[in-house]
Amino acid sequence: MMKHLQATTTLHNGVEMPWFGLGVFKVEEGEELEQAVASAIKNGYRSIDTAAIYGNEAGVGRGIKLGLQQAGISREQLFVTSKVWNADLGYEETLAAYKASLDKLGLDYLDLYLIHWPVEGKFAEAWRALETIYKEEKVRAIGISNFQVHHIEHLMKTAKIKPMINQVEYHPRLTQEELRAYCAQNGIQLEAWSPLMQGQLLDHPLLREIADSYNKSVAQVILRWDLQNGVVTIPKSTKETRIIANADVFDFELSAEDMARISGLNENHRVGPDPDNFDF
């Protein structure tokens, strides 16, 4: 299934998306960002995830350009994701936001465009805009982020096209079993943001014990757990050594017992905002 860094999952519309990618949340514009994106591509990553609110799309675009040159590959071999921010949710606003993201990234199209947060009363119109962009073949796939089951059900009352992706906070302390099962049943691919819980799990004794038994790092074990649960993952790093190490998860497999032990750490604990209770 996932034998190497460029292995893909097939979304319900037939588009192939890499299981593994680079996230750039909280990485500011500048040399560090550009080099991180370029080195990820040079070292075999084929998926890059950003968002309008990160304020770094222009730098990501420059990093992509540099990375494509260094790796000697074409734009078509890359999978690029961005997200529409809450302030731009609305039919015309979302259409404009998509164009603005493309302009900043310096790209002709995105592979995936997501609604960043389920703002009540606004996400249905934004989704209609995403459907328009998709039907016009300006984006290869569309999806949502931070949507709970009830948000998805609400969306589906008016949606003509089912989301291909739901990107949510997902890590061993927040396993989202109900949501994961629901998305699997409905052909919506789950994707993890903050898979390493912003570094808070790297000293966990159980995870360290499991990692030692496989001769791997805690980060590698968590990222492997994501993949074996059928969850696309996009760990963030700006250091080339860490970018390479994070992706070194395709040469081992966690046992069913260890998978269960890791899942057993769940406490429904979030490091990010609660999708049912946010005010931005």
- 125 with 88: CB under 8 angstroms? no
- What is the per-residue pLDDT for 254? 98
Cα 146 from Cα 243, distance rounded (Å): 25
| Single-letter amino acid, residue 196 | L
Residue 268 lies in a domain: no
Residue 280 lies in a domain: no
pTM for the full model? Answer: 0.97
Is 144 in a helix, a strand, or coil? strand
- What is the per-residue pLDDT for 25? 87
Residue 212 lies in a domain: yes
Query: How many domains is the chain built from?
Result: 1
Residue 271 lies in a domain: no
Domain of residue 97, residue span: 8-263
Residue 278 lies in a domain: no
- What is the per-residue pLDDT for 121? 95
Split the chain (280 residues) into runs of 10 and give each run's mean pLDDT.
Answer: 89 98 87 95 98 95 97 98 97 98 98 98 97 98 98 98 98 97 98 95 97 98 98 95 96 98 98 95
Cα 274 from Cα 151, distance rounded (Å): 13
- What is the per-residue pLDDT for 1? 60
Residue 166 lies in a domain: yes
- What is the per-residue pLDDT for 256? 98
CATH of the domain at 73: 3.20.20.100
Which of the residues are catalytic?
54
